[in-house]
């Protein structure tokens, strides 16, 4: 097949990622297809971490000295880049956390604790990552709020008719993923957001899998919160983002106390700093945030629409290439435009971990397990799946390597089909 790669120059992109030249098992070239777990990092991001520690390291927002001011400037410049990337009306609406999980917990703790009382309803979906279920269960057990879940249909999409029934005037918040990590399903969050707003509920979007792979514009989305992680979009681990609408952030209590989140402290009481400092207690991951800025620059140069087009091409090709392997079930929507760059599958008679090991012996790195989405596994009635997930540097030849490795697993375990 002749691939257009969405207009991306893959050879040039791949040169920027040293790890992609790695071999495993003494000479087997690495085929990295575990991008939904974390992406690889380009030299531009790696260099920025070194540069910061070598030339600019100082604590931020705390010193009048030149180095501290320089580090503060670089940290705040990264905030501006994130704001521009998601088209936030103001950089002050961008809060740095350590990952998506912390961003989602921040909403449950700082908004939920201030505004939810017994009987209030929070609507989630059955395809949420554990990080958008567990914080709400903790709050339910503490406050007596009621959790409702939009059901998943057999093709991995959400039951929108049921969503219309579940979202009512009792709903205080809708929390939903824009793209399922376990299945790749893209959720029509615009539609759900409009529905929730009609009933006066706030909307929290888990963008951990969508923001790295497609253009996400918070003004167009019209939600109230968007959570995502830098490490899934070329940035270092330990940096996440919570974007929040300012009028909502202003009504929230702090999440963690201490450090720069205060204005005044006496032994009796404290007052809070401006937003976003109010939600960033303690010394943050300064180097990580600054290097995340370099990751955003990199993605911006490629263009999110091209990245999305490239991934649709890869997924379309992958589904065709592996769809007819005997005994295979590919989960999630059949239409590649309704899914992100994720292909989650089961090979009849072979445990996904065994599939993963055979794939690994051929250099193909995929994730196997429940993908922190156990309710999805329960609904599919499988203990786990094997999941290949693509990003900007993956090629059609790597999809071929994946397909051949799955054939090999099928032959190796003699599941009766090969
Ligand atoms: N999913 C995966 O392999 P953290 O770990 O906090 O950066 O992101 C949590 C998270 C939240 N929501 C969704 C939709 C996610 O996919 C993830 C992370 C990884 O699928 C690790 S479990």
How confident is the model over 329-357, as pLDDT tens digits? 999 999 989 999 999 999 999 999 999 99
Within-domain flag for 334: yes
Residue that finishes a domain, picked among 262, 285, 301 = 301
Q: Which pLDDT value is given to residue 417? A: 57
Task: Identify the residues whose C-beta falls under 6 Å from ligand 1.
Answer: 36-37, 99-101, 129, 131, 177, 181, 206, 208-209, 229, 367, 371-372
Q: Which pLDDT value is given to residue 418? A: 45
Within-domain flag for 64: yes
pLDDT, tens digit (0-9, with 9 covering 90-100), for 288-336: 999 999 999 999 999 999 999 999 999 999 999 999 899 999 999 999 8
Out of 156, 189, 208, mutate this one to test ligand 1's pocket (max ligand atoms within 8 Å of CB): namely 208
Within-domain flag for 418: no
Does residue 396 share a domain with residue 312?
Answer: yes
Instruction: Name the closest-CA residue to atom 8, ligand 1.
Output: 100
CATH number for 106: 3.40.640.10
Q: Which pLDDT value is given to residue 416? A: 56
Does residue 136 share a domain with residue 99?
Answer: yes
Out of 104, 352, 372, 374, mutate this one to test ligand 1's pocket (max ligand atoms within 8 Å of CB): namely 372
Alpha-carbon distance 202 to 193, whole Å?
A: 8
Out of 96, 107, 129, mutate this one to test ligand 1's pocket (max ligand atoms within 8 Å of CB): namely 129
Q: What's phi and psi for 343, nearest 5 deg?
A: -125, 110
Alpha-carbon distance 330 to 323, whole Å?
A: 7
Say how many Å lie between the CA of residue 133 and the centre of ligand 1: 12
- The structure's pTM equals 0.97
Please identify, by atom number, the ligand 1 atom nearest to the C-alpha of residue 102: 6
Q: Which pLDDT value is given to residue 415? A: 64
Residues of the chain with pLDDT under 70: 415-418
Per the structure, the complete domain to which residue 215 belongs is given by 46-301
For 375, the 3-state DSSP assignment is: helix
Please identify, by atom number, the ligand 1 atom nearest to the C-alpha of residue 37: 3
User: What's the length of the chain?
Assistant: 418
Say how many Å lie between the CA of residue 129 and the centre of ligand 1: 7
Does residue 387 share a domain with residue 250?
Answer: no
Does residue 333 share a domain with residue 214?
Answer: no
Residue that finishes a domain, picked among 270, 301, 332 = 301
Does residue 257 share a domain with residue 232?
Answer: yes
Does residue 308 share a domain with residue 295?
Answer: no
Bridging pattern class, strands 94-97 and 31-32 = unpaired
Within-domain flag for 319: yes
Within-domain flag for 103: yes
Catalytic residues: 372
Say how many Å lie between the CA of residue 274 and the centre of ligand 1: 29
Does residue 237 share a domain with residue 349?
Answer: no
- Residue 172's Cβ-count burial label (10 Å; 0-12, 13-18, 19+) is buried
Instruction: Name the closest-CA residue to atom 16, ligand 1.
Output: 181
Instruction: Name the closest-CA residue to atom 19, ligand 1.
Output: 37
CA angle 408, 414, 418 (to 5 degrees): 65
Say how many Å lie between the CA of residue 2 and the centre of ligand 1: 33
Does residue 225 share a domain with residue 142?
Answer: yes
Please identify, by atom number, the ligand 1 atom nearest to the C-alpha of residue 131: 11
Please identify, by atom number, the ligand 1 atom nearest to the C-alpha of residue 372: 22
Q: How many domains in the chain?
A: 2
Does residue 208 share a domain with residue 85?
Answer: yes
CA angle 256, 261, 267 (to 5 degrees): 85
Handedness of CA 70, 71, 72, 73 (dihedral sign): positive
Task: Count Cα neighbours of 296 within 13 Å in the Cβ-side half-sphere.
Answer: 26
Say how many Å lie between the CA of residue 205 and the centre of ligand 1: 13
Out of 209, 230, 374, 388, mutate this one to test ligand 1's pocket (max ligand atoms within 8 Å of CB): namely 209
Residue that finishes a domain, picked among 282, 301, 320 = 301
Say how many Å lie between the CA of residue 179 and the centre of ligand 1: 11
Say how many Å lie between the CA of residue 373 and the centre of ligand 1: 9
For 289, the 3-state DSSP assignment is: helix
């Amino acid at each position: 097949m002749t691939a257009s790669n969405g207009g991306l120059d893959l050879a040039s992109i791949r040169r920027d990622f040293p790890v992609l030249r790695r071999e495993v098992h003494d000479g087997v070239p690495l085929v990295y297809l575990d991008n939904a777990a974390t992406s690889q990092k380009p030299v531009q991001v790696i260099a920025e971490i070194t540069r910061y520690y070598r030339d600019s390291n100082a604590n931020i927002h705390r010193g009048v000295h030149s180095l501290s001011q320089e580090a503060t400037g670089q940290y705040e410049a990264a905030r501006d880049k994130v704001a521009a990337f998601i088209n936030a009306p103001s950089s002050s609406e961008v809060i740095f956390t350590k990952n998506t999980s912390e961003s989602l917990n921040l909403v449950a703790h700082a908004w939920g604790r201030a505004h939810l009382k017994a009987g209030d309803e929070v609507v989630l979906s059955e395809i949420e990552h554990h990080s958008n279920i567990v914080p709400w269960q903790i709050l339910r057990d503490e406050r007596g709020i009621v959790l409702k879940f939009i059901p998943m249909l057999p093709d991995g999409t959400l039951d929108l008719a049921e969503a219309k029934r579940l979202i009512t005037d009792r709903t205080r918040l809708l929390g939903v993923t824009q793209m399922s990590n376990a299945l790749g399903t893209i959720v029509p969050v615009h539609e759900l957001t409009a529905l929730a707003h009609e009933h006066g509920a706030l909307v929290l979007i888990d963008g951990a899998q969508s923001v790295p792979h497609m253009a996400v514009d918070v003004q167009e989305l019209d939600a109230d919160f968007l959570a995502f992680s830098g490490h899934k979009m070329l940035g270092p681990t330990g940096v996440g983002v919570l974007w929040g609408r300012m009028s909502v952030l202003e009504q929230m209590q702090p999440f963690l106390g201490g450090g720069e989140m205060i204005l005044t402290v006496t032994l009796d009481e404290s007052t809070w700093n401006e937003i976003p400092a109010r939600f960033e207690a303690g010394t943050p991951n300064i180097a990580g945030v600054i290097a995340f800025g370099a990751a955003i620059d990199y993605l911006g140069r490629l263009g999110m629409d091209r990245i999305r087009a490239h991934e649709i091409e890869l997924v379309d090709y992958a589904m065709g290439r592996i769809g007819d392997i005997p005994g295979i079930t590919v989960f999630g929507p059949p239409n590649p435009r309704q899914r992100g760059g994720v292909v989650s599958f089961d090979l009849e008679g072979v445990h996904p971990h065994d599939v993963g090991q055979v794939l690994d012996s051929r250099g193909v790195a995929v994730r196997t397990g429940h993908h922190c989405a156990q309710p999805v596994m329960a609904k599919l009635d499988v203990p786990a799946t094997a999941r290949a997930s693509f990003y900007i540097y993956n090629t059609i030849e790597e999809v071929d390597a994946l397909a051949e490795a799955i054939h090999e697993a099928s032959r190796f375990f003699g599941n009766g089909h090969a």
